[in-house]
Amino acid sequence: MISIEGLTKVFDENTAVDNLELEIRSGEVFGFLGPNGAGKTTTLRMLSSLIKPTSGTAQVAGYRLGEDDQALRRNVGILTEAPGLYDRLSAERNLAFFAYLYDVNDVDGSVERYLKLLGLWERRSEPVGTFSRGMRQKLAIARSMLHEPPVLFLDEPTTGLDPEASRLVREFIEGLRGQGRTIVLNTHNLDEADRLCDRIAVLNTQLLAIDTPAALRREVFGRKVVFHVSELQPEYEATVAKFPFVDAVEAVDAKLVVTLDDPETQNPALVAALVNAGAKVQFVGEIRKSLEDVYLHLVSNDEEELERGDAT
Amino acid sequence: MNRFYQIVRKEWAEVFKNRFVLGTVAFLPLMAALLPLGILYFVSSSPDITNDLEEIPSSFMALCNDLTGTECMQYFLISQFILLFMIIPLAIPITIASYSIIGEKTTRTLEPLLATPITTAELLGGKSAAAVIPGVVATWLAYMVLVIGTALMGVGSGVMDSLLDPFWLMAVFVVGPLLALTGVSVAVMVSSRVTDPRSAEQISMLVFLPVLLIFVAQMAGLILLNTQLVLVMAVVLVILDAVLLTAAVRLFQRETILTRWK
């Protein structure tokens, strides 16, 4: 659905996005993670043909950037960082205005549908200036979807919202999954990315990593399994370490922490070996690294590398 | 065409909820109609007005042919005020247009707007039309109020004829709207370059200078607006407006406005 080929954006002498290459599949919820200034918003702006790339190109919903930008914009919905609504106009008038700009066939029907879907129908005639931040954000999401675009870009959809409004927005996005729409999400909220995204790209001007949240955890930290054993003996560590698939073993307190690739198939052999060695295995569990750990690891490694590069 | 019309509708829905803009649209034309009517009333009821005829430039006196002294004075005063009807269509649209692009940027509505399939020509065309039409219509209505009020006051037929003289009608109904378009094109260009509405309005108001010069020159008797001069102004303005509108569309850099403005 989205194919990005060497996309680069340079502002004056600042490289905002550097040679980005990736594919986003149809129907996927895809997340861009990265620190401030990592190029996430610039990437979305390029993909929705709001700004031109310095080099490289992309194909979005079947349209190549710079070739038929009007058609591309018609097939893309974007929730910008700020809701960007007309405060003096009513919610209904705000949506109708954009529906006409997007050439929506049944403007009234579409506006009604989304206002009802997002719980704003009762307040449709009120000026948007009187709305809470959460309501404005919901209205902005409705605006981005009025023309039923196959590709939806959401830039920081829950930033600045209170927990309840964030939850509502997240649930709405979750509800969009399975409708065949491709959703690209820029977020700082790692928990949100973990819960919503099928795949994640960690960006810091360049692409640092791309995969499913689970795979990213595995790639960065491996999978760690903890064996709680009563009366831990030193030989248990050696018993486990002799297996070729074990990457590392560490005795911590009364536990063995084992790094391996595939706990689901490899754990039974380890449990059997420990029991044979006389260990009383109490229980086995996996240490789950959070996406935040993965993100911080990737970004801090990248920044260290940059500093080293600068020093040399 | 639909998007153009939608922009106009949205602009009006927004702009006319702004009391300052609404006040400008209503106040200026009203003053332009009521002020000359008040002066005409004063002149009509003043017995010794003919003593002031020597104040009228000689070039203008030549136009008074068959008019009485009072009528000549009334005609002279009316002529000065008709010039206002060329200035007002310039002032109102500049006020509206200065707020339009910058307003979109400061309320952060420009990015979602530019993300739609709207073309720059549709966007700027819609915004320009939304700014020009209220100013022009308000001016025309005010001119009609002036004509009707003058007729009701029972002034001489010579003065009425001068008010309905084709060259004045052309000045009000053709040159006025063309000047409005000039003002708006400049305001749109300026407002896509500066970052606050006040600067946009102040810089755009520079367009007034040439028109004010004509106003002052006519009052001083240095020039006399006539059919030929009004025709020349109309032709020059048509060309100027075409150039300015094209330039406004070309100079509207979506990317620069989105990424450089803070």
The answer to whether residue A303 is domain-embedded is no
Query: Are residues A192 and A232 located together in one domain of the fold?
Result: no
- Mean pLDDT for A169-195 is 85
Counting the structural domains of chain A, the total is 2
Counting the structural domains of chain B, the total is 1
- Classify the complex by whether its ipTM is higher than 0.90, answering yes or no: no
**What are the chain A neighbours of B13 within 8 Å (beta carbons)?**
88-89, 93
**Token reading at B96:** 């509206």
Pick B76 or A277 by higher pLDDT: A277
Strands A255-260 and A246-252 turn out to be antiparallel
Tell if the CB–CB gap between A88 and B17 is shorter than 8 Å: yes
Query: Are residues A181 and A238 located together in one domain of the fold?
Result: no
Query: Are residues A38 and A120 located together in one domain of the fold?
Result: yes
- Mean pLDDT for A130-147 is 91
The answer to whether residue A294 is domain-embedded is no
CATH code of A105's domain:
3.40.50.300
Cβ–Cβ under 8 Å, residues A190 and A290: yes
Q: Which of A108-122, A227-241, B66-80, B144-158 has the highest mean pLDDT?
A: A108-122
- Listed in sequence order, the DSSP H helices in chain A are 40-47, 69-74, 91-101, 107-117, 133-145, 163-176, 190-196, 213-221, 234-241, 263-276, 291-311
CATH code of A259's domain:
3.30.70.100
pLDDT of res. A311: 58
Query: Are residues A50 and A77 located together in one domain of the fold?
Result: yes
Instruction: Report the residue from B3, B6, B114 with minimal CB separation from A50.
Output: B114
Please give the residue of chain B at the shortest CA–CA distance from A51.
B255
State pTM to two decimals: 0.80
pLDDT of res. B8: 93
Tell if the CB–CB gap between A84 and B109 is shorter than 8 Å: yes
Helix (H, G, I), strand (E, B) or coil at A173: helix
pLDDT of res. B48: 65
Tell if the CB–CB gap between B109 and A93 is shorter than 8 Å: no
Query: Are residues A152 and A258 located together in one domain of the fold?
Result: no
Flag whether pLDDT at B262 surpasses 60. no
Query: Are residues A187 and A269 located together in one domain of the fold?
Result: no
CA distance A86 to chain B (A): 7
- Assign A297 a pLDDT band (cuts: 50, 70, 90): confident
**What are the chain A neighbours of B17 within 8 Å (beta carbons)?**
88
Q: For A237-241, A297-301, B123-127, B238-242, which range has the lowest pLDDT when averaged over its residues?
A: A297-301
Q: For A40-49, A109-118, B44-53, B69-78, which range has the lowest pLDDT when averaged over its residues?
A: B44-53
The answer to whether residue A304 is domain-embedded is no
Q: Cα A242–A248–A251 angle (5° rounding)?
A: 95
Please give the residue of chain B at the shortest CA–CA distance from A129.
B107
pLDDT of res. A109: 94
Query: Are residues A230 and A202 located together in one domain of the fold?
Result: no
Chain A interface with B: residues with Cβ < 8 Å: 11, 45, 48, 50-52, 70-71, 73-74, 76, 78, 80, 82-89, 93, 97-98, 100-103, 140, 143-144
Angle, to 10 degrees, between the axis of helix B120-153 and the axis of helix B19-45?
30
**What are the chain B neighbours of A46 within 8 Å (beta carbons)?**
none
Give the pLDDT confidence of B184-208 residue by residue, as tens digits: 888 888 877 777 667 777 787 787 7
Q: Which domain holds residue A255?
A: 221-287
Query: Are residues A152 and A15 located together in one domain of the fold?
Result: yes
Query: Are residues A163 and A269 located together in one domain of the fold?
Result: no
Query: Are residues A25 and A172 located together in one domain of the fold?
Result: yes
pLDDT of res. B37: 86
pLDDT of res. B1: 61
Give the pLDDT confidence of B112-138 residue by residue, as tens digits: 999 999 998 899 899 989 989 988 998
DSSP type of residue A90: B
Q: Which domain holds residue B129?
A: 2-260
Flag whether pLDDT at B85 surpasses 60. yes
Please give the residue of chain B at the shortest CA–CA distance from A140.
B112
Query: Are residues A257 and A122 located together in one domain of the fold?
Result: no
Query: Are residues A184 and A254 located together in one domain of the fold?
Result: no
